[in-house]
Chain A
Amino acid sequence: MLEIDNLVAGYGGVPVLRDINAKMAAGEIVGLLGANNAGKTTLINALSGMVKPISGRILFLGEDISKLTPQARVELGIVQVPEGRLVFPEMSIRENLLLGGINAHARKHRPQQMEKVIGLFPRLGERLTQSAGSLSGGEQQMLAIGRGLMAEAKLLMLDEPSLGLSPLFVQYIFEIIDKLHADGLTILLVEQNLNLTLRHAKRCYVLERGQVAVEGDAETVKNDPRTRSAYLGL
Protein backbone atom coordinates (compact mmCIF):
# COMPACT_ATOMS: atom_id res chain seq x y z
CA MET A 1 0.00 0.00 0.00
CA LEU A 2 2.76 2.41 1.00
CA GLU A 3 6.33 2.36 -0.19
CA ILE A 4 9.04 4.83 0.75
CA ASP A 5 12.12 4.81 -1.50
CA ASN A 6 15.38 6.47 -0.41
CA LEU A 7 13.50 9.41 1.04
CA VAL A 8 15.55 12.44 2.07
CA ALA A 9 13.58 15.30 3.62
CA GLY A 10 14.03 18.15 6.06
CA TYR A 11 13.52 21.83 6.71
CA GLY A 12 14.89 24.68 4.61
CA GLY A 13 16.97 22.33 2.47
CA VAL A 14 18.71 20.81 5.51
CA PRO A 15 17.98 17.07 5.65
CA VAL A 16 16.56 15.60 8.84
CA LEU A 17 15.59 12.26 7.30
CA ARG A 18 18.26 10.42 5.33
CA ASP A 19 17.68 7.48 3.02
CA ILE A 20 14.48 6.19 4.51
CA ASN A 21 13.22 2.95 3.00
CA ALA A 22 10.04 1.41 4.31
CA LYS A 23 6.97 -0.52 3.20
CA MET A 24 3.48 -1.12 4.48
CA ALA A 25 0.93 -3.61 3.23
CA ALA A 26 -2.82 -2.94 3.27
CA GLY A 27 -4.40 -3.78 6.61
CA GLU A 28 -1.09 -3.77 8.44
CA ILE A 29 -0.38 -2.01 11.72
CA VAL A 30 3.21 -0.79 11.75
CA GLY A 31 5.05 0.95 14.57
CA LEU A 32 7.43 3.84 14.01
CA LEU A 33 9.66 4.16 17.05
CA GLY A 34 12.48 6.38 18.12
CA ALA A 35 13.72 8.71 20.80
CA ASN A 36 12.70 12.34 20.99
CA ASN A 37 13.92 14.29 17.90
CA ALA A 38 14.66 11.10 15.95
CA GLY A 39 12.54 12.40 13.04
CA LYS A 40 9.27 10.50 13.50
CA THR A 41 7.02 13.55 13.15
CA THR A 42 9.08 14.78 10.21
CA LEU A 43 8.54 11.44 8.48
CA ILE A 44 4.77 11.41 8.84
CA ASN A 45 4.66 15.06 7.83
CA ALA A 46 6.61 14.06 4.71
CA LEU A 47 3.96 11.40 4.08
CA SER A 48 1.23 14.02 4.60
CA GLY A 49 2.96 16.46 2.26
CA MET A 50 3.63 19.03 4.97
CA VAL A 51 7.40 18.51 4.61
CA LYS A 52 8.71 18.52 1.03
CA PRO A 53 11.08 15.72 0.00
CA ILE A 54 14.60 16.69 -1.07
CA SER A 55 14.98 13.44 -2.96
CA GLY A 56 13.46 9.98 -3.09
CA ARG A 57 9.91 8.82 -3.71
CA ILE A 58 6.75 7.94 -1.83
CA LEU A 59 4.37 5.50 -3.50
CA PHE A 60 0.79 5.07 -2.32
CA LEU A 61 -1.32 2.36 -3.96
CA GLY A 62 1.32 2.21 -6.67
CA GLU A 63 1.17 5.92 -7.47
CA ASP A 64 4.02 8.37 -6.87
CA ILE A 65 2.57 10.93 -4.47
CA SER A 66 5.76 12.76 -3.51
CA LYS A 67 4.81 15.86 -5.50
CA LEU A 68 1.15 15.99 -4.43
CA THR A 69 -0.20 18.72 -2.15
CA PRO A 70 -1.35 17.86 1.39
CA GLN A 71 -4.97 18.27 0.23
CA ALA A 72 -4.56 15.79 -2.62
CA ARG A 73 -3.05 13.27 -0.23
CA VAL A 74 -5.90 13.62 2.26
CA GLU A 75 -8.31 13.00 -0.61
CA LEU A 76 -6.44 9.79 -1.41
CA GLY A 77 -6.98 8.68 2.18
CA ILE A 78 -3.59 9.44 3.75
CA VAL A 79 -4.68 10.96 7.03
CA GLN A 80 -2.65 12.14 10.00
CA VAL A 81 -3.74 12.48 13.61
CA PRO A 82 -1.11 14.99 14.68
CA GLU A 83 1.12 15.04 17.72
CA GLY A 84 -0.46 17.13 20.46
CA ARG A 85 -3.89 16.41 18.86
CA LEU A 86 -4.31 19.96 17.50
CA VAL A 87 -8.09 20.00 17.75
CA PHE A 88 -9.70 23.34 16.87
CA PRO A 89 -10.22 24.60 20.41
CA GLU A 90 -12.83 27.27 19.75
CA MET A 91 -15.08 24.99 17.78
CA SER A 92 -17.55 22.41 18.97
CA ILE A 93 -16.93 18.68 18.75
CA ARG A 94 -19.41 18.54 15.91
CA GLU A 95 -17.62 21.27 13.96
CA ASN A 96 -14.26 19.55 14.51
CA LEU A 97 -15.70 16.32 13.11
CA LEU A 98 -17.26 18.14 10.15
CA LEU A 99 -13.87 19.69 9.39
CA GLY A 100 -12.31 16.24 9.50
CA GLY A 101 -14.53 15.24 6.60
CA ILE A 102 -14.19 18.44 4.61
CA ASN A 103 -12.06 17.01 1.80
CA ALA A 104 -13.78 16.64 -1.56
CA HIS A 105 -13.81 12.85 -1.35
CA ALA A 106 -15.21 12.47 2.18
CA ARG A 107 -17.61 15.41 2.15
CA LYS A 108 -20.43 13.46 0.51
CA HIS A 109 -20.60 10.82 3.24
CA ARG A 110 -20.22 12.99 6.31
CA PRO A 111 -23.53 12.17 8.02
CA GLN A 112 -22.93 8.40 7.81
CA GLN A 113 -19.30 8.75 8.80
CA MET A 114 -20.29 10.92 11.78
CA GLU A 115 -22.65 8.15 12.93
CA LYS A 116 -19.79 5.65 12.82
CA VAL A 117 -17.40 7.89 14.73
CA ILE A 118 -20.02 8.55 17.41
CA GLY A 119 -20.65 4.81 17.59
CA LEU A 120 -16.94 4.32 18.25
CA PHE A 121 -16.70 7.19 20.76
CA PRO A 122 -20.09 7.56 22.46
CA ARG A 123 -18.53 10.12 24.79
CA LEU A 124 -18.10 12.49 21.87
CA GLY A 125 -21.67 11.93 20.75
CA GLU A 126 -23.00 12.95 24.15
CA ARG A 127 -21.46 16.41 23.94
CA LEU A 128 -21.42 17.39 20.29
CA THR A 129 -21.97 21.07 21.02
CA GLN A 130 -19.24 21.37 23.67
CA SER A 131 -16.15 23.28 22.61
CA ALA A 132 -13.09 21.13 21.91
CA GLY A 133 -10.89 23.37 24.02
CA SER A 134 -12.86 22.45 27.14
CA LEU A 135 -12.23 18.69 26.77
CA SER A 136 -9.67 16.70 28.77
CA GLY A 137 -6.51 15.47 27.04
CA GLY A 138 -7.94 11.99 26.60
CA GLU A 139 -11.20 13.29 25.15
CA GLN A 140 -9.25 15.54 22.80
CA GLN A 141 -7.32 12.49 21.62
CA MET A 142 -10.61 10.71 20.93
CA LEU A 143 -11.77 13.74 19.00
CA ALA A 144 -8.53 13.94 17.02
CA ILE A 145 -8.85 10.27 16.04
CA GLY A 146 -12.55 10.70 15.26
CA ARG A 147 -11.72 13.72 13.14
CA GLY A 148 -9.12 11.66 11.26
CA LEU A 149 -11.66 8.89 10.64
CA MET A 150 -14.12 11.45 9.24
CA ALA A 151 -11.68 11.93 6.36
CA GLU A 152 -12.33 8.31 5.29
CA ALA A 153 -8.74 7.34 5.95
CA LYS A 154 -7.22 4.40 4.13
CA LEU A 155 -3.90 4.92 5.91
CA LEU A 156 -4.27 6.41 9.37
CA MET A 157 -1.08 7.82 10.87
CA LEU A 158 -1.22 8.43 14.61
CA ASP A 159 1.55 10.64 16.02
CA GLU A 160 2.15 9.82 19.69
CA PRO A 161 -1.48 9.16 20.64
CA SER A 162 -0.48 8.23 24.21
CA LEU A 163 1.37 11.49 24.86
CA GLY A 164 0.29 13.09 28.12
CA LEU A 165 -2.62 10.72 28.77
CA SER A 166 -3.43 8.89 32.01
CA PRO A 167 -2.74 5.10 31.92
CA LEU A 168 -6.46 4.40 31.77
CA PHE A 169 -6.92 6.59 28.70
CA VAL A 170 -3.80 5.14 27.06
CA GLN A 171 -5.31 1.68 27.45
CA TYR A 172 -8.63 2.87 26.03
CA ILE A 173 -7.02 4.59 23.03
CA PHE A 174 -4.98 1.49 22.23
CA GLU A 175 -8.08 -0.69 22.43
CA ILE A 176 -9.63 1.62 19.85
CA ILE A 177 -6.52 1.34 17.68
CA ASP A 178 -6.73 -2.47 17.86
CA LYS A 179 -10.40 -2.31 16.94
CA LEU A 180 -9.73 -0.08 13.91
CA HIS A 181 -6.99 -2.48 12.83
CA ALA A 182 -9.33 -5.44 13.24
CA ASP A 183 -11.81 -3.63 10.98
CA GLY A 184 -9.16 -3.59 8.27
CA LEU A 185 -7.71 -0.08 8.55
CA THR A 186 -4.01 0.34 7.74
CA ILE A 187 -2.33 2.08 10.66
CA LEU A 188 1.05 3.71 11.14
CA LEU A 189 1.59 4.11 14.86
CA VAL A 190 4.23 6.65 15.83
CA GLU A 191 5.33 6.30 19.43
CA GLN A 192 8.15 6.92 21.82
CA ASN A 193 6.74 4.30 24.16
CA LEU A 194 8.65 1.19 23.11
CA ASN A 195 6.94 -1.61 25.04
CA LEU A 196 3.44 -0.33 24.41
CA THR A 197 4.02 -0.14 20.67
CA LEU A 198 5.68 -3.56 20.47
CA ARG A 199 2.56 -5.04 22.05
CA HIS A 200 0.21 -3.59 19.41
CA ALA A 201 2.22 -3.35 16.18
CA LYS A 202 3.17 -6.49 14.31
CA ARG A 203 6.11 -4.82 12.61
CA CYS A 204 8.25 -1.83 13.56
CA TYR A 205 10.81 0.60 12.29
CA VAL A 206 13.15 2.29 14.75
CA LEU A 207 14.44 5.70 13.71
CA GLU A 208 17.71 7.05 15.01
CA ARG A 209 18.84 10.53 14.05
CA GLY A 210 16.80 10.49 10.86
CA GLN A 211 17.75 7.02 9.68
CA VAL A 212 16.18 3.60 10.05
CA ALA A 213 18.34 1.84 12.67
CA VAL A 214 16.30 -1.33 13.11
CA GLU A 215 13.36 -2.88 11.32
CA GLY A 216 11.47 -6.13 11.53
CA ASP A 217 8.70 -7.84 13.45
CA ALA A 218 8.03 -6.85 17.01
CA GLU A 219 10.01 -9.71 18.52
CA THR A 220 13.12 -9.01 16.40
CA VAL A 221 13.03 -5.30 17.18
CA LYS A 222 12.57 -6.00 20.87
CA ASN A 223 15.63 -8.22 21.07
CA ASP A 224 17.91 -6.19 18.80
CA PRO A 225 20.55 -4.40 20.91
CA ARG A 226 20.52 -1.51 18.44
CA THR A 227 16.97 -0.70 19.51
CA ARG A 228 18.16 0.06 23.03
CA SER A 229 21.13 2.05 21.78
CA ALA A 230 18.86 4.05 19.44
CA TYR A 231 16.79 5.00 22.46
CA LEU A 232 19.72 5.78 24.68
CA GLY A 233 21.44 7.67 21.88
CA LEU A 234 24.63 5.58 22.17
Chain B
Amino acid sequence: MTELYQALAQGLLIGATYGLLALGMGLVYGVSGVVNFSHGDFISLGMFMCLALYSAFAMDPYVSIIITVPLMIAIGALVYIFLIRPMVGHQFLMVVQLTLGLSLVLQNGILMVFGGEPARTPSFVESKLIILGDVVLRVPHIVAFVVSFALAIGLYIMLRSTDFGRSIRAVHQNAHAAALMGINVGRVQVLTFALGIGILALAAALLLPGTPIQPTQGLRYTVITLLVVVLGGMTNFVGIMLGGLIIGIAEAFGTIYLDGPIGLLLPYIIFVAIMLFLPKGLTWSSAR
Protein backbone atom coordinates (compact mmCIF):
# COMPACT_ATOMS: atom_id res chain seq x y z
CA MET B 1 0.00 0.00 0.00
CA THR B 2 2.80 2.40 0.89
CA GLU B 3 4.40 1.69 -2.47
CA LEU B 4 1.14 2.52 -4.21
CA TYR B 5 0.85 5.91 -2.51
CA GLN B 6 4.51 6.54 -3.11
CA ALA B 7 4.15 5.81 -6.83
CA LEU B 8 1.00 7.88 -7.15
CA ALA B 9 2.49 10.89 -5.36
CA GLN B 10 5.75 10.77 -7.26
CA GLY B 11 3.95 10.32 -10.58
CA LEU B 12 1.56 13.19 -9.96
CA LEU B 13 4.35 15.55 -8.98
CA ILE B 14 6.49 14.84 -12.05
CA GLY B 15 3.42 14.57 -14.28
CA ALA B 16 2.54 18.21 -13.73
CA THR B 17 5.88 19.21 -15.24
CA TYR B 18 5.31 16.83 -18.16
CA GLY B 19 2.00 18.56 -18.68
CA LEU B 20 3.74 21.93 -18.74
CA LEU B 21 6.29 20.68 -21.31
CA ALA B 22 3.44 19.46 -23.47
CA LEU B 23 1.47 22.71 -23.20
CA GLY B 24 4.39 24.48 -24.86
CA MET B 25 4.43 21.96 -27.69
CA GLY B 26 0.64 22.06 -28.05
CA LEU B 27 0.56 25.86 -28.28
CA VAL B 28 3.18 25.86 -31.03
CA TYR B 29 1.36 23.12 -32.92
CA GLY B 30 -1.89 25.05 -32.55
CA VAL B 31 -0.67 28.27 -34.16
CA SER B 32 1.94 27.02 -36.66
CA GLY B 33 1.13 23.37 -37.28
CA VAL B 34 4.74 22.62 -36.32
CA VAL B 35 5.64 19.60 -34.21
CA ASN B 36 9.05 20.30 -32.78
CA PHE B 37 11.10 17.11 -32.54
CA SER B 38 13.96 19.02 -30.91
CA HIS B 39 11.70 19.91 -27.97
CA GLY B 40 13.55 17.61 -25.56
CA ASP B 41 16.94 18.85 -26.72
CA PHE B 42 15.92 22.37 -25.83
CA ILE B 43 15.13 21.05 -22.34
CA SER B 44 18.65 19.58 -22.36
CA LEU B 45 20.04 22.89 -23.48
CA GLY B 46 18.24 24.61 -20.61
CA MET B 47 19.63 22.09 -18.13
CA PHE B 48 23.19 22.39 -19.40
CA MET B 49 22.94 26.17 -19.26
CA CYS B 50 22.08 25.77 -15.57
CA LEU B 51 25.06 23.44 -15.19
CA ALA B 52 27.35 25.99 -16.84
CA LEU B 53 26.04 28.76 -14.59
CA TYR B 54 26.59 26.56 -11.56
CA SER B 55 30.15 25.70 -12.62
CA ALA B 56 31.02 29.33 -13.31
CA PHE B 57 29.18 31.19 -10.55
CA ALA B 58 27.91 28.43 -8.21
CA MET B 59 24.42 29.58 -9.17
CA ASP B 60 21.46 27.53 -8.00
CA PRO B 61 19.27 26.30 -10.92
CA TYR B 62 16.28 28.08 -9.41
CA VAL B 63 18.23 31.33 -9.63
CA SER B 64 19.70 30.61 -13.07
CA ILE B 65 16.28 30.94 -14.68
CA ILE B 66 16.71 34.70 -14.50
CA ILE B 67 19.31 34.20 -17.21
CA THR B 68 18.22 31.01 -18.97
CA VAL B 69 14.60 31.98 -19.59
CA PRO B 70 15.27 35.22 -21.50
CA LEU B 71 18.18 33.56 -23.32
CA MET B 72 16.07 30.59 -24.40
CA ILE B 73 13.20 32.87 -25.45
CA ALA B 74 15.64 34.73 -27.69
CA ILE B 75 17.05 31.48 -29.08
CA GLY B 76 13.52 30.23 -29.72
CA ALA B 77 12.59 33.37 -31.63
CA LEU B 78 15.73 33.19 -33.78
CA VAL B 79 15.29 29.47 -34.50
CA TYR B 80 11.71 30.07 -35.57
CA ILE B 81 12.47 33.09 -37.76
CA PHE B 82 15.54 31.70 -39.52
CA LEU B 83 15.00 27.94 -39.59
CA ILE B 84 11.38 26.97 -39.09
CA ARG B 85 9.42 29.80 -40.71
CA PRO B 86 10.96 29.26 -44.16
CA MET B 87 9.65 25.67 -44.00
CA VAL B 88 6.14 26.32 -42.67
CA GLY B 89 3.51 25.80 -45.31
CA HIS B 90 5.65 23.26 -47.12
CA GLN B 91 5.38 19.55 -46.47
CA PHE B 92 4.71 18.70 -42.85
CA LEU B 93 7.50 16.11 -43.05
CA MET B 94 10.04 18.75 -44.10
CA VAL B 95 9.45 20.57 -40.82
CA VAL B 96 9.78 17.27 -38.96
CA GLN B 97 13.08 16.60 -40.77
CA LEU B 98 14.30 20.06 -39.90
CA THR B 99 13.52 19.80 -36.20
CA LEU B 100 15.04 16.31 -36.08
CA GLY B 101 18.18 17.78 -37.63
CA LEU B 102 18.11 20.55 -35.06
CA SER B 103 17.87 17.89 -32.35
CA LEU B 104 21.09 16.29 -33.56
CA VAL B 105 22.84 19.63 -33.80
CA LEU B 106 21.85 20.54 -30.23
CA GLN B 107 22.76 17.11 -28.90
CA ASN B 108 26.20 17.15 -30.50
CA GLY B 109 26.78 20.78 -29.64
CA ILE B 110 26.16 19.98 -25.97
CA LEU B 111 28.38 16.90 -26.28
CA MET B 112 31.23 19.01 -27.69
CA VAL B 113 31.00 21.61 -24.94
CA PHE B 114 30.26 19.47 -21.90
CA GLY B 115 31.49 15.99 -22.86
CA GLY B 116 29.47 12.80 -22.57
CA GLU B 117 29.82 12.05 -18.87
CA PRO B 118 26.63 12.27 -16.83
CA ALA B 119 26.74 15.45 -14.77
CA ARG B 120 24.82 16.79 -11.80
CA THR B 121 23.88 20.32 -10.86
CA PRO B 122 23.46 20.72 -7.12
CA SER B 123 20.63 22.76 -5.72
CA PHE B 124 19.91 23.82 -2.17
CA VAL B 125 16.67 21.82 -2.11
CA GLU B 126 18.17 18.77 -3.76
CA SER B 127 18.30 16.37 -0.83
CA LYS B 128 15.45 17.81 1.24
CA LEU B 129 12.59 15.45 1.90
CA ILE B 130 9.08 15.75 3.22
CA ILE B 131 7.64 12.71 4.94
CA LEU B 132 3.88 12.28 5.02
CA GLY B 133 3.08 9.10 6.91
CA ASP B 134 4.86 6.40 4.93
CA VAL B 135 5.25 8.46 1.79
CA VAL B 136 8.53 10.22 1.16
CA LEU B 137 8.39 13.22 -1.14
CA ARG B 138 11.41 15.00 -2.55
CA VAL B 139 11.18 18.77 -2.19
CA PRO B 140 12.34 19.45 -5.78
CA HIS B 141 9.39 17.38 -7.00
CA ILE B 142 6.98 19.40 -4.87
CA VAL B 143 8.47 22.65 -6.15
CA ALA B 144 8.16 21.34 -9.72
CA PHE B 145 4.54 20.38 -9.16
CA VAL B 146 3.49 23.68 -7.61
CA VAL B 147 5.36 25.85 -10.11
CA SER B 148 4.17 23.80 -13.09
CA PHE B 149 0.55 24.05 -12.06
CA ALA B 150 0.89 27.73 -11.28
CA LEU B 151 2.41 28.32 -14.72
CA ALA B 152 -0.27 26.23 -16.41
CA ILE B 153 -2.98 28.24 -14.67
CA GLY B 154 -1.17 31.45 -15.58
CA LEU B 155 -1.01 30.35 -19.22
CA TYR B 156 -4.67 29.47 -19.17
CA ILE B 157 -5.62 32.89 -17.82
CA MET B 158 -3.32 34.54 -20.36
CA LEU B 159 -4.99 32.67 -23.23
CA ARG B 160 -8.47 33.52 -21.97
CA SER B 161 -8.23 37.10 -20.93
CA THR B 162 -5.42 38.97 -22.64
CA ASP B 163 -5.26 40.29 -26.19
CA PHE B 164 -2.12 38.26 -26.84
CA GLY B 165 -3.81 35.11 -25.57
CA ARG B 166 -6.90 35.73 -27.68
CA SER B 167 -4.64 36.36 -30.70
CA ILE B 168 -3.02 32.97 -30.16
CA ARG B 169 -6.42 31.28 -30.04
CA ALA B 170 -7.66 33.25 -33.04
CA VAL B 171 -4.67 32.20 -35.14
CA HIS B 172 -5.27 28.61 -34.06
CA GLN B 173 -8.95 28.67 -34.97
CA ASN B 174 -8.70 30.56 -38.26
CA ALA B 175 -5.44 32.18 -39.32
CA HIS B 176 -6.99 33.93 -42.34
CA ALA B 177 -9.72 35.52 -40.23
CA ALA B 178 -7.14 36.45 -37.58
CA ALA B 179 -5.14 38.35 -40.21
CA LEU B 180 -8.32 40.16 -41.28
CA MET B 181 -8.71 41.38 -37.68
CA GLY B 182 -5.33 43.07 -38.01
CA ILE B 183 -3.46 40.40 -36.07
CA ASN B 184 0.11 39.93 -37.27
CA VAL B 185 -0.06 36.15 -37.69
CA GLY B 186 3.68 35.76 -38.32
CA ARG B 187 4.47 37.65 -35.14
CA VAL B 188 2.06 35.54 -33.07
CA GLN B 189 3.73 32.39 -34.43
CA VAL B 190 7.23 33.61 -33.53
CA LEU B 191 6.20 34.75 -30.06
CA THR B 192 4.36 31.51 -29.35
CA PHE B 193 7.36 29.43 -30.36
CA ALA B 194 9.65 31.63 -28.27
CA LEU B 195 7.25 31.35 -25.33
CA GLY B 196 7.20 27.56 -25.73
CA ILE B 197 11.02 27.44 -25.58
CA GLY B 198 11.02 29.84 -22.62
CA ILE B 199 8.69 27.46 -20.77
CA LEU B 200 11.23 24.70 -21.45
CA ALA B 201 13.93 26.74 -19.74
CA LEU B 202 11.72 26.90 -16.64
CA ALA B 203 10.86 23.22 -16.85
CA ALA B 204 14.56 22.40 -17.20
CA ALA B 205 15.31 24.10 -13.88
CA LEU B 206 12.38 22.32 -12.25
CA LEU B 207 13.47 18.88 -13.44
CA LEU B 208 17.16 19.40 -12.76
CA PRO B 209 17.79 19.17 -8.99
CA GLY B 210 18.98 15.70 -8.10
CA THR B 211 18.74 14.39 -11.66
CA PRO B 212 21.90 13.39 -13.51
CA ILE B 213 21.94 14.83 -17.03
CA GLN B 214 23.62 13.74 -20.23
CA PRO B 215 23.58 15.16 -23.75
CA THR B 216 21.63 12.26 -25.26
CA GLN B 217 18.64 12.54 -22.94
CA GLY B 218 16.74 14.98 -25.19
CA LEU B 219 14.97 12.36 -27.26
CA ARG B 220 13.48 10.81 -24.14
CA TYR B 221 11.90 14.14 -23.16
CA THR B 222 10.70 14.71 -26.72
CA VAL B 223 8.98 11.32 -26.75
CA ILE B 224 7.36 11.85 -23.36
CA THR B 225 6.14 15.28 -24.45
CA LEU B 226 4.74 13.84 -27.68
CA LEU B 227 2.88 11.14 -25.74
CA VAL B 228 1.33 13.76 -23.51
CA VAL B 229 0.40 16.12 -26.34
CA VAL B 230 -1.22 13.38 -28.40
CA LEU B 231 -2.96 12.01 -25.32
CA GLY B 232 -4.27 15.49 -24.57
CA GLY B 233 -5.70 15.92 -28.07
CA MET B 234 -2.90 18.16 -29.42
CA THR B 235 -4.34 21.54 -28.41
CA ASN B 236 -6.71 20.80 -25.55
CA PHE B 237 -5.46 22.57 -22.45
CA VAL B 238 -7.10 20.47 -19.77
CA GLY B 239 -6.53 17.27 -21.75
CA ILE B 240 -2.81 17.98 -21.94
CA MET B 241 -2.40 18.61 -18.19
CA LEU B 242 -4.37 15.44 -17.49
CA GLY B 243 -2.22 13.56 -20.02
CA GLY B 244 0.89 14.78 -18.20
CA LEU B 245 -0.37 13.40 -14.90
CA ILE B 246 -1.28 10.05 -16.48
CA ILE B 247 2.10 9.63 -18.15
CA GLY B 248 3.88 10.74 -14.96
CA ILE B 249 1.97 8.18 -12.89
CA ALA B 250 2.50 5.44 -15.49
CA GLU B 251 6.22 6.13 -15.41
CA ALA B 252 6.36 6.04 -11.60
CA PHE B 253 4.37 2.78 -11.46
CA GLY B 254 6.59 1.29 -14.13
CA THR B 255 9.79 2.02 -12.22
CA ILE B 256 8.46 1.05 -8.79
CA TYR B 257 6.42 -2.06 -9.58
CA LEU B 258 8.02 -3.56 -12.67
CA ASP B 259 11.60 -4.56 -13.26
CA GLY B 260 13.77 -3.35 -16.09
CA PRO B 261 12.58 -2.72 -19.63
CA ILE B 262 8.92 -3.56 -19.04
CA GLY B 263 8.79 -0.90 -16.36
CA LEU B 264 10.19 1.70 -18.71
CA LEU B 265 7.65 0.69 -21.33
CA LEU B 266 4.63 1.15 -19.10
CA PRO B 267 3.89 4.79 -20.14
CA TYR B 268 3.85 3.68 -23.79
CA ILE B 269 1.61 0.71 -23.06
CA ILE B 270 -0.84 2.94 -21.19
CA PHE B 271 -0.64 5.47 -24.02
CA VAL B 272 -1.47 2.90 -26.68
CA ALA B 273 -4.28 1.48 -24.55
CA ILE B 274 -5.89 4.92 -24.09
CA MET B 275 -5.50 5.85 -27.74
CA LEU B 276 -7.15 2.60 -28.82
CA PHE B 277 -10.30 3.54 -26.96
CA LEU B 278 -10.12 7.34 -27.33
CA PRO B 279 -8.49 7.98 -30.71
CA LYS B 280 -8.88 11.73 -30.28
CA GLY B 281 -7.18 11.73 -26.91
CA LEU B 282 -8.62 13.06 -23.69
CA THR B 283 -10.65 15.79 -25.37
CA TRP B 284 -14.11 17.00 -24.78
CA SER B 285 -15.34 19.89 -26.81
CA SER B 286 -16.20 22.26 -23.98
CA ALA B 287 -12.73 22.23 -22.50
CA ARG B 288 -10.99 24.48 -25.04
Contacts and interface: CB of A to CB of B under 8 A. Distances in A.
Contacts of A50: 176, 179-180
Place the interface of chain A in its size category.
20 to 34
A191 to B, nearest CB: 19
A86 B174 contact: yes
A74 B177 contact: no
Contacts of A70: 179-180, 182
Interface stretch (A28-36, A91-99, A203-211): A91-99
A147 B170 CA distance: 13
A80 interface: yes
Contacts of B181: 74, 99-100, 102-103, 147, 151
Nearest to B186: A69
B183 A86 contact: no
B180 A74 contact: yes
Interface string A136-149: 00000000000100
Contacts, number: 62
Contact of A107 (B163, B177, B180): B163
A81 B173 CA distance: 17
A154 B182 CA distance: 14
B167 interface: yes
B277 to A, nearest CB: 25
Contacts of B288: 90
Contact of A86 (B163, B166, B167, B177): B177
Interface in B143-182: 163, 166-167, 169-170, 173-174, 176-182
Interface range on chain B: under 10, 10 to 19, 20 to 34, or 35 or more?
10 to 19
A218 to B, nearest CB: 28
Contacts of B166: 91, 95, 98-99, 102
A179 B228 CA distance: 52
B55 to A, nearest CB: 45
A73 to B, nearest CB: 8
A114 B167 CA distance: 18
Contact of A75 (B174, B176, B182): B182
A42 interface: no
B184 interface: yes
Nearest to A50: B179
A86 B184 contact: no
Interface of A: 48, 50, 69-71, 74-75, 79-80, 82, 86-91, 95, 98-100, 102-104, 107, 147, 151
Interface of B: 163, 166-167, 169-170, 173-174, 176-184, 288
> Sorted from nearest, which 4 A-B pairs have the closest CB atoms?
A74-B182, A103-B182, A86-B177, A71-B182
Given A70-B182, A88-B177, A102-B181, 4 more contacts: A74-B181, A89-B173, A91-B173, A102-B163
16 contacts: A48-B180, A50-B176, A71-B183, A82-B177, A87-B177, A88-B169, A88-B170, A88-B174, A89-B173, A99-B166, A99-B181, A99-B183, A102-B167, A103-B181, A107-B163, A147-B181
